Structure 1
Amino acid sequence: QVSAYSYKSLSMALLPLMREGASIVGLTFDAQIAWPKYDWMGVAKAALESTNRYLARDLGPKGIRCNLVSAGPIKSMAAKSIPGFEELADVWNHRAPIGWDLADPEPAGRGVVGLLSDFFPRTTGEIVHVDGGV
């Protein structure tokens, strides 16, 4: 888990290694909604989303894109530290029109790869939702 501060610090530290057309992609969990049991993590993700917009503003003139993938819940090491994760994840059983598999990180990974690629040459400061439609 990377804090918003670390995300910006890391991005700025790596700036000398980036060239025009580079892309930074982070992972978030939609902070527009006050999810059950998510509490302090929701606040942290809101900070990350804001930091991403500022990075997009600051790095855009250098031709560097900054975006986030808002993935649905994935059973991971980070998920183990969220009390009530199962209750939170249960929302996807009822609201994901295309379905969502908690054990499959591939859809979120493909979203990240897509944003890292040159398929989105003028997309920056965005949050792409890869969450089964929730």
Structure 2
Amino acid sequence: MKIQGKMFIWLSVFILAVAVVYGYWSKEPAGTTALFLAFGLAIMIGFYLAFTARRVDAGAQDDMEADVADEAGEVGFFSPHSWQPLSLAVGGALAFLGIAVGWWVMYFSAPILMVGLFGWVFEYYRGENRTQ
């Protein structure tokens, strides 16, 4: 994680330099604001990764002598057959269609989004305090 933190911190320094030069030359507020916001996002991620790297064990990416196979192992749990992302995608597509076509489409997309969101969050919930 140390290398990712350093990469994001250096990226944020570069974005800050670009934002200052762009703002000085162009005098255009929208692009300058977007670049400063990108700087803020990159610096937050960089500092988070740098501080987290101090608390966790060094990973294979921090070792110069590591092989690709050293990072192998369990990544996490992913649902093998969930239909909830599909309903979220359909609801999101309808919501963005509502921005383009008319706001009345949001009345149809909001329930689909809510069903998909609550279904995905509570997909493996079975009773009170089941997963704790």
Which TM-score band (shorter chain)?
Answer: under 0.3
* Structure with the higher fraction of residues in strand conformation: 1
Q: Say which structure, 1 or 2, has more relative contact order (CA 8 Å, 6+ apart).
A: 1
Q: Considering only CA atoms, is the larger Rg found in Structure 1 or Structure 2?
A: 2
Q: TM-score, normalised by structure 1?
A: 0.25
Which is richer in helix?
2
Normalising by structure 2, we get a TM-score of 0.26
